[in-house]
């Protein structure tokens, strides 16, 4: 499993999936939830909410 390109934190499956869903589906490098939130200028809870939402609608990336 990959590490965050910004802070080198070990990434969870959900973090990779939400990055691919929000930023770039065919990405091979990813950011963790905290760095992605900073990058998008939103609180980390927004990323959590997106993960929950994408799971709920049955997104195949998760
Ligand atoms: Zn990070």
Neighbours of ion ligand 1 (CB under 5 A): 4, 6-7, 9, 32, 35
Q: Helix 13-22 crosses helix 33-40 at what angle (to 10 degrees)?
A: 20
Q: How far is CA 4 from CA 30, 53, 57, 58, 59, in A?
A: 6, 22, 26, 25, 22
**pLDDT for residue 30:** 97
pLDDT, mean of residues 50-62: 96
What pLDDT digit, counting tens, does each position of 1-52 carry? Answer: 799 999 999 999 999 999 999 999 999 999 999 999 999 999 999 999 999 9
CA 26 to ligand 1 centroid distance, Å: 19
Helix (H, G, I), strand (E, B) or coil at 23: coil
Torsion sign across C-alpha atoms 20, 23, 59, 6: positive
**pLDDT for residue 13:** 96
Query: Residue 60: is its pLDDT beyond 80?
Result: yes
HSE at residue 43, side-chain half, CA atoms within 13 A, is: 3
Q: What is the pTM of this model?
A: 0.92
Q: Where exactly are the structural domains of the chain?
A: 13-56
**pLDDT for residue 1:** 73
């Amino acid at each position: 499993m990959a590490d965050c390109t910004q802070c080198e934190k070990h990434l969870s499956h959900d973090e990779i999936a939400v990055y691919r869903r929000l930023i770039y589906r065919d990405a091979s490098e990813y950011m963790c939830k905290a760095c992605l939130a900073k990058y998008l200028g939103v609180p980390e809870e927004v990323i959590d909410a997106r993960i929950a939402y994408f799971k709920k609608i049955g997104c195949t990336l998760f």
